[in-house]
Structure formats: C-alpha cells, structure tokens
Amino acid sequence: MQRYLRDQVDWPQPFPPEEYAERRARVRRQLAAKGFDALYVTIPADLTWLCGYDMIWYHGRNMTGLLVRADRDDTVLFDYTGHTTIVSTTPMITDAVWYARGDVADHIKIIADELATRGLGRGRIAIQAWGYSPHASVMDDFAERLRQGGATVGDGHQLVEELRLIKSAREIAVMRQAAAMADKAMAAARDAIAPGVMETELDAVIMNSLLRDGGGQPGIRTMIGTGPRAGTHHSPPQHRKIKQGDLVFVDFCAVLHRYHVNLNRTFSLGAPDRRWTDLMNTSAGCIDAIAAGMKPGDPWSQAAKIGERYVDQHGLRKYLWWSGGYNQGIAFPPDWCGTYWVEPRAGTPDRPCVPGMVFNFENQWDVWENWPGGSGAAYIDTLEMTDKGLRIMSALPRNLVVV
C-alpha cells in the first residue's frame, strides 16, 4: 500500500481502532471454537465490519478477501492492484497482498500460495461459499486449490454474520443516526407528494436528503408505488405521475457507514376511501403490541407470533401479503436482508432477542377489491432491543397519512 496516502487520511472514520479489535477478537474466538485455523472473508458486509473496507464492484470473479487467523490478531487483505487507493486510505488494513488484472485462476493461485507461505498450507481453512461474490464456481476452484495444497476446507459463510447480529454500543449509535436520517427523508418525500410528481422524482427527494446528511446508497433500490402500483412489492419507482386520490407507497433504507435502517410508510394525496383509513389505523397498533409484548431474552420468533396474533385478532388476515422481519445492519447491494429472519429460515435456529439486536418488522396489505386509490398499503418499522425492551426507531405515525 502507499503509506504517504495513509498519512493523508483527514476524514472521520466510522469507528475507532478498538472497535475493530474487539470484532477481530470475537471472530478469532469463534474460529477456535469451531476448529478452524483461519477464515478467508469474501462477503462484502463482513469485510466492512472487520476492517472498514468499502468497495462498490463485487463481481462474479472478484477474489478480494481478508484472511483472519485464529492464533493471532494479524490480518491480511488480498486485492487487485486497481484498489491501491482504497486500501491505502483504509486505516484498519495493515497488510496487503496484491494481484494484477488477469484470470481468476491466477488470483486463486496467488492467494493459496500466500496462505501456504504463512504456514496455513495444511491448515483448516473456512471459506464463504454462499456470498454474492465471487461466483460459487470460483469458490469451488479456490477450495480445490487449497485442498491440493493439503488444507482442510470448511464452510464459514455465516460465522461473521452471526456475530454481526449483536451490535456494539458504537454500532447502535450509528443506527440511531440512520433512523433519524430515515425519518427526515420520509418527511421530505411526504412533503413532495403532489399531482404530476413522478415516482422517480420522489426517489430523488429521498436520496437527496439521505446523501446530504452523509448517508449512502442502500443495498436494495428504493421501492415506490402510486395509485394502481401502490400495492407494489419489490418494484422500483417508475415514470408514473401521481394523481389526486392516489395512495403513495414509499419503502427505503437509510444507510450510514453501510448500516441500514428500514422505513416504509403509505400516504394518500387527498382524502382516501374510508376502507384504506380503517385498514391502516387498525393495523398500526401491531408494532406497539410487539414492543409491549417482548422483553430482553425472549425468543426472537415471539415478535412474529405477536404480529400474526394481532393480524388475526383484528380481522386483517384477508388482506395480508406478509408480516415479518429480518436483521438490519451492514449490507451491500443486492440485498439488505441477510440470512437471519424473525421467523427462522434456511436452517438457522431461533435465538434469544438480546440487547444489541436490530430488526425490521413489516405489515404488507394487498387489496384486490378495486378500492379507489390503489392496490395495497404497508408500513415498516425498525426495532432495537435494549436492556429495557424494544425501542421503535422511527417517530413517524404508521396510519395512512393524508397530504
């Protein structure tokens, strides 16, 4: 790396060195507990969490990775020479091995040979075969190369992500800042709603607010739907112009230092059909019921059970598309959800909801009865478990807001 560039770093870093040292120590303990000598980290969120590395282009043949060992605190980043400036201006990266532009097979050889040089050629190495980058076939070739050198290769794709579930006090402070940014951006979107405004213009208002406050691009594009598109799920904004009487669905994450806080609200341009008002007013109390019904140490899945019970007790099942949530924290495109959900899935067990856990919870309603104004409505809040119970991170109302 270029040390003279390191000396010119004059902007604030997301966290102090001791925060990253604590994270590395947690990973080392986990590696030792699982019988691994080292972990080769390629999942972007894990790289950022461990050393602050932040890069935008994780393609299918990208072998950028961080070697973390169980027996020492030293780490080494393997990266393409085109990222010399990024690496040189990331203070928590202390050692780097470079490879030039070329075939991924050459990069794999460089990494495997370096691991052998560092005494890990016959070690027990964990890799992250389930990341979005690099492609699974690349990771298969990497694993085979390590095995040919005498190493034992295991699966470590969830090892760091599981540790990231429990945020430190410093991480919580960042997420609270992101939550305030989300409320501000949502209020800006609300104030911009008017006849003739395109959905893409609302997205511009939101991103302008977030970026001016020091935020970043979210792991999933903003979801906006108006009028007949108001029940949209996973659809980006279109060139549709808002009309009087439309419902306006807005769902995005505020992002600070790659930490995501999800927020979704539904608005009405002018007085809505009473049925929409009743649906949203009735459903709005679900988040309060979850917050009131959980204490530190309760099973995480209890949030989903309370939510489902609320839906049934208030006769809302008929219109429910989905009720649930998932972990919030560091994320990169194309996803901000990760592996860990309120209702366990993909073989992950339920777990106690303890202070430091942050997750969203959403109620999404599809209405196929041609109510005037739209096809659906929704809200999402992000919740933080504290030592006193769940804290709702947004101060904005969840009912249908008329503008």
Encode 82-113: b = buried (16+ Cβ within 10 Å), e = exposed: ebeebbbbbebbeebbebeeeebeebbebbbe
pLDDT band, residue 145 (cuts 50/70/90): very high
pLDDT digits (tens, 9 = 90+) for 14-48: 999 999 999 999 999 999 999 999 999 999 999 99
Model confidence at 242: pLDDT above 90: yes
CB atoms within 10 A of CB 342: 25
Tokens linked to 120: 């890990």
Q: What is the pLDDT of residue 341?
A: 96
Segment 140-167 shows an average pLDDT of 97
The confidence score (pLDDT) of residue 138 equals 97
Q: Is the pLDDT of residue 116 over 90?
A: yes
pLDDT digits (tens, 9 = 90+) for 182-198: 999 999 999 999 999 99
Q: What's the average model confidence in pLDDT over 271-298?
A: 98
Mean pLDDT confidence for 124-146: 96
Q: Which residue ranges form the domains of the chain, and what is each CATH number?
A: 3-163 (3.40.350.10), 165-402 (3.90.230.10)
Is residue 126 over pLDDT 90?
yes
DSSP conformational letter for 327: B
Residue 3 pLDDT greater than 90, yes or no:
yes
Q: What is the Cα–Cα distance from 353 to 348, expressed in whole angstroms?
A: 14
The secondary element (H helix, E strand) that includes residue 140 is: helix 136-148
| pTM for this model (two decimals) | 0.96
Q: What is the mean pLDDT of residues 164-184?
A: 98
Own/partner pairs for 232-236, CB < 8 Å, 24+ apart?
A: 232/375, 232/376, 233/321, 233/364, 236/203
Residue 88 Cα distances to 8, 149, 206, 349, 380, angstroms: 10, 31, 32, 40, 39
Query: Tell me, what DSSP letter sits at residue 320?
Result: E
In the sheet with 75-80, reading across from the earlier edge strand, the strands are 96-99, 75-80, 65-69, 38-41, 124-127, 152-155
pLDDT of residue 347: 85
The tokens describing 353, both together, are: 């909801």
Residue 356: both structure tokens together? 């430091």
Quick one: pLDDT at residue 346?
78
Q: Terminus-to-terminus CA distance in the chain, angstroms? A: 53
Return the percentage of the chain with pLDDT > 70, whole number.
100
pLDDT of res. 331: 97
How does pLDDT run across 319-366, given as a tens digit for each residue? 999 999 999 999 999 999 999 999 998 789 999 999 999 999 999 999
DSSP per position, 156-221: -TTHHHHHHTS--HHHHHHHHHHHHHHHHHHHHHHHH--TT-BHHHHHHHHHHHHHHTT----SS-
| Arithmetic mean of pLDDT over the chain | 97
In order of 15, 191, 257, 337, the CA distances from 170 in angstroms are 7, 32, 12, 21
Q: Exposed, middle or buried, 55 (CB in 10 Å: 0-12/13-18/19+)? A: middle
Phi, psi torsion values for 251, nearest 5 degrees: -135, 120
Per-residue pLDDT band at 71 (split at 50, 70, 90)? very high
